[in-house]
Amino acid sequence: MFHFLSFTVALLLLSGCSTRGVGTYKQQSTLKRHSKPAQENLQLDNNTAITDALYEEYMRWEGTRYKFGGNSKQGVDCSSFVQQLYFNALNVRVPRSTKEQAKIGRWIKKSQLRSGDLILFKTAYNKRHSGVYLEHGKFMNASSKYGVTLSNINNPYWREKYWQSRRVFEY
């Protein structure tokens, strides 16, 4: 009986770790989990390396709760998350506020989005939201509802709120 009980407890503990979702985008198998290149060796002309570095940094932040004005893993807002994501994953400095982020780089069409591009949304009359594009319609952001998560730009909410995209660096 003791062996059966021990086996059951071990099985429950192991199964609890395997059901972790990925924000609002539940297809975790699509996440690339390659080791992150050292920042000094990361080539910003390689789409795969950029995508991998962004995914790896996202995994460090995934699930962090949203906190207006926050800038740590205890709580972060969208513009701080974007700022830290660019710096930690790509060694690229961007401004802290969404208003200032909307002025950097160059404007690009939504159809031209590629990994590492900044995406901006108008969520209310005087409110803006920022995220970083990954691939296949997915972008990373700190959502006030879900915290740090992956979202889909083709989701009706984000499609309606889309404002502009910016190419922060060229590759």
Q: Tokens representing 119?
A: 């995406």
Question: What pLDDT is attached to residue 31?
Answer: 32
The β-bridge relationship of strands 138-143 and 106-108 is unpaired
Give me the catalytic one of 3, 91, 141, 155: 141
* Arithmetic mean of pLDDT over the chain: 81
| Residue 141 annotated as catalytic | yes
d(CA 146, CA 140): 11
Q: Among positive and negative, which fits the CA dihedral 24, 26, 32, 38?
A: positive
User: Counting every residue, how long is the chain?
Assistant: 171
Give me the catalytic one of 17, 71, 91, 129: 129
Q: Tokens representing 95?
A: 């401004």
Residue from 121, 164, 132, 141 nearest 24 by CA: 141
| Residue 17 annotated as catalytic | no
- The pLDDT of residue 36 is above 90: no
- The pLDDT of residue 20 is above 80: no
Q: For the chain, list the domains and their CATH numbers.
A: 42-167 (3.90.1720.10)
Question: What pLDDT is attached to residue 43?
Answer: 59
pTM, whole model, 2 decimals?
0.75
Lowest mean pLDDT among 2-6, 96-100, 167-171: 2-6
Question: What pLDDT is attached to residue 42?
Answer: 59
| Residue 136 annotated as catalytic | no
Give me the catalytic one of 3, 34, 78, 154: 78
d(CA 78, CA 67): 9
Q: For the segment 149-166, what is each residue's pLDDT rounded down to a tens digit?
A: 999 999 999 999 999 999
- The pLDDT of residue 12 is above 70: no
Question: What pLDDT is attached to residue 86?
Answer: 98
Residue from 66, 70, 92 nearest 80 by CA: 70
d(CA 55, CA 108): 22
d(CA 153, CA 171): 22
| Greater model confidence, 14 or 132 | 132
